[in-house]
């Protein structure tokens, strides 16, 4: 089968992109598919004996089926857990869409049936003075799966992000609701409001998980519309 490729975007930082990406990898593997996952740029890395390592990228590497070196999964690793363009400036590095696209294309040549590329922060997180990370999925022409962090204000965040994705010329392949606020008031009403307003299939609604893990989250997903 031809490789399915998707970009995992979030309505905000900590919306649950990595949890959902991991859950998609688990569900895809359960369906018998080979998978690859990339996180082109990660801010918030720890110094290890092997070099800088990001917990999100390590999780993706754990759940994908095809063996890729860490440096292919996460080619740009930044130490500070802040906006990537600021972290890069502090380290004397420069982020560009072209460079990230080139790094992604190299890894995308590896054989797999499903490829997911996880973003950083929200859709318009800057890379430099003129470019945003959203330029990467645009250049790679990747359909988008949006992770909506379910909390107060999520409807506005989600609809504005959907508008931006579509305005950038990319299809919204689907979206996932991830309840990050366990005490969210009117959760079901908010979820239904999003279902009515987002013109793409809801791939699942993940309830608040006290100890989030991809295997558990995968039980709440239906990947039929994208696989």
What is 128-194 written as a DSSP string? SSS-BTTHHHHHHT--EEEEEEESTTHHHHHHHHHHHHHHTT--EEEEEEEE--TT-TTHHHHHHHH
Q: Each residue of 128-141: pLDDT tens digit?
A: 999 999 999 999 99
Q: In the predicted model, what is the mean pLDDT of residues 209-225? A: 95
Neighbours of 187 (CB within 10 A): 19
pLDDT tens digit string along 49-85?
Answer: 989 999 999 999 999 999 999 999 999 999 999 999 9
What is the mean pLDDT of the segment spanning 196-209?
97
User: Which pLDDT value is given to residue 163?
Assistant: 98
Predicted pLDDT at 107: 87
Strands 51-53 and 46-48 come out as: antiparallel
Compute the mean pLDDT over every residue in the chain, rounded to the nearest whole number: 95
Average pLDDT of span 1-24: 93
Hey, which of 44-48, 110-114, 195-199 has the most confident mean pLDDT?
195-199
Q: Which of 189, 193, 195, 222 is nearest to 206 (CA)?
A: 222
How far apart (Å, rounded) are the C-alpha atoms in residues 79 and 100? 18
Confidence (pLDDT) at 220: 97
Q: Tell me if the pTM is above 0.85.
A: yes
Q: How far apart are CA 114 and CA 128, in angstroms?
A: 30
1 pLDDT above the threshold of 70 = no
Taking only the tens place, the pLDDT of each residue in 28-56 is: 999 999 999 999 999 999 999 989 999 99
3-state secondary structure string, 73-102? HCCEEECCCCCHHHHHHHCCCCCCHHHHHH
Which CATH entry fits the domain spanning 4-218: 3.40.640.10, 3.40.50.300, 3.40.50.2300, 3.90.950.20? 3.40.50.300
Find out whether 110 and 68 touch, Cβ atoms under 8 Å. yes
- pLDDT score, position 170: 98
Catalytic sites, residue numbers:
39
């Amino acid at each position: 089968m031809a490789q399915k490729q998707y970009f995992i975007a979030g309505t905000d930082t900590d919306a649950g992109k990595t949890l959902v990406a991991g859950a998609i990898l688990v569900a895809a593997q359960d369906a018998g598919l080979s998978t690859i996952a990339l996180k082109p740029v990660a801010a918030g890395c720890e110094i290890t004996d092997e070099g800088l390592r990001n917990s999100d990228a390590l999780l993706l590497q754990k759940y994908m089926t095809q063996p890729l070196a860490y440096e292919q999964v996460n080619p740009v690793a930044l130490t500070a857990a802040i906006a990537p363009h600021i972290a890069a400036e502090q380290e004397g590095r420069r982020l560009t869409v072209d460079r990230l696209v080139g790094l992604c294309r190299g890894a995308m040549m590896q054989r797999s049936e499903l490829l997911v590329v996880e973003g950083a922060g929200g859709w318009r997180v800057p890379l430099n003075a003129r470019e945003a990370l959203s330029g990467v999925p645009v250049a790679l022409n990747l359909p988008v799966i949006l992770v909506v962090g379910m909390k107060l204000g999520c409807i506005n965040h989600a609809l504005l992000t959907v508008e931006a994705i579509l305005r950038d010329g990319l299809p919204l392949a689907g979206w996932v609701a991830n309840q990050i606020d366990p005490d969210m008031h009117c959760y079901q009403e908010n979820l239904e409001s999003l279902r009515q307003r987002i013109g793409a299939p809801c791939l699942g609604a993940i309830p608040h998980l006290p100890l989030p893990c991809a295997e558990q989250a995968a039980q709440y997903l239906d990947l039929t519309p994208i696989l």
